[in-house]
Amino acid sequence: MDRSGYGAALVTGGGSGIGRQCALTLAHRGAKILVTDLNAEAADRVAEEIRGLGGAAEAMAMDVTDPSQVEAAFSRAEALWDGVDILVNSAGLIIVEPLLDFRLETFEKVMSVNVAGSFLTGQRAARTMARRGYGRIVNLSSVSGQRAGVGRAAYGTSKAAIIGLTRQFALELGPLGITANAVAPGVIETPMTLNAYSQETWEKVLGMVPTGRRGRPEDIAEAVAYLASPHASYVNGEVLTVDGGYMATGMTQTGSIALRR
C-alpha cells in the first residue's frame, strides 16, 4: 500500500452518482482508482476528471453480472497495482412495478445486478485481498433494504440482501484481514432518483427527513471513504445509515402533527 493509506480501489458503477463521487473522494485522499461501469464512456469521463484534478485513475467497462468482465477488470488492477485494497460496489439498478403485476423477469434482473453483481465482484476482490492479508469491501445497501417501499419488491429485497451478503463476507473474510461493510443511503440526489422521482415525490419524501434536505453523493462518499480507510479496521459487518435521520423517525415523524400542550 502507498503512503496515502488507501492504496488502490476499484469502484463499480463509478460512472454516475454515488459511485462517481466515491471515486473522486477516494482519489482526493490519495487512492489510485479503477473506475468501472456498464457505461464505458461514463467511466472514462470520471477517470479523466480524476486525472484532471491530479489524481491517478484508469477506466474500464465492466458489467458486474458478467464473470468474464469482472475477471478482466480485476486482472487489469493486478497488472497495474498488484490488485486492489478497496472495492466499492455502487453499481445498482432500480425498477419499480406494482407488486401484483411485478414480472419475474424484472425481479431477476434487479437481483442479478444488485445482489449477484456484488457477490461476484466481492468474491473476486477478496481472492486477491486474502493473498495480501488486507482489504476493505464497501457495499451500497439502502434505507429501502430496511423499510418497505411501494413498487420495490425487487429493489427493496435486493438492498436487504446486500446487508446479509455483507455480513457473510464480514464473517468469512474477517480472519483474513478483510472487512466488509455496507452504507445505507437515504434519498440522495443522483441520476437514479432524479429519473425516478416527481417533484411531488421529492416533497413528500423530504417531509420525512429531519435534516430537511436531499442527500448529496458527497454525504455518502464520506461514509464510504471512512469504511474504506485503514482507520476502520475494527468495523466489520456494519451497516452505516446515512439518511438525514429518516430511519430514526416513527409514526409522528412529520412536522404537520401538532404537539398538544
- Whether 155 is a known active-site residue: answer yes
Q: Which is nearer to ligand NAD, 32 or 152 (CB)?
A: 152
Task: Check binding of 91 to ligand NAD (CB under 6 A).
Answer: yes
Number of residues in contact with ligand NAD under rule CB under 6 A: 30
Residue 179 contacts residue 170 (beta carbons within 8 Å): yes
Task: Check binding of 241 to ligand NAD (CB under 6 A).
Answer: no
* b/e 148-174 (16+ beta carbons within 10 angstroms → b): eeebbbbbbbbbbbbbebbbebbeebe
Contact pick of 7, 83, 92, 122 for ligand NAD (by CB under 6 A): 92
The answer to whether the Cα torsion of 244, 249, 254, 260 is positive or negative is negative
Q: Which of residues 138-157 bind ligand NAD (CB under 6 A)?
A: 140, 142
C-alpha cell recorded at residue 93: 439498478
Catalytic residue among 6, 155, 197, 246: 155
Contact pick of 90, 157, 179, 236 for ligand NAD (by CB under 6 A): 90
CB of 207 to ligand NAD, least distance (A): 16
Q: Which is nearer to ligand NAD, 2 or 66 (CB)?
A: 66
Q: Which is nearer to ligand NAD, 47 or 91 (CB)?
A: 91
Residue 9 contacts residue 34 (beta carbons within 8 Å): yes
Contact pick of 10, 110, 113, 180 for ligand NAD (by CB under 6 A): 113
∠ CA 97-92-118, nearest 5°, is 120
∠ CA 105-96-12, nearest 5°, is 80
β-bridge mates for residue 166, sequence order = none
- As a whole number of angstroms, the distance between CA 166 and CA 182 comes to 7
Contact pick of 188, 227, 240, 242 for ligand NAD (by CB under 6 A): 188
Q: Which of residues 6-65 bind ligand NAD (CB under 6 A)?
A: 12-13, 15-19, 37-39, 42, 62-65
Backbone angles phi, psi at 239, to 5 degrees: -115, 115
- As a whole number of angstroms, the distance between CA 47 and CA 34 comes to 8
Q: Which is nearer to ligand NAD, 195 or 256 (CB)?
A: 195
Residue 85 contacts residue 9 (beta carbons within 8 Å): yes
CB of 123 to ligand NAD, least distance (A): 15
Catalytic residues: 155
Name the residues that contact ligand NAD, by CB under 6 A.
12-13, 15-19, 37-39, 42, 62-65, 90-93, 113, 117, 140, 142, 185, 187-188, 190-193
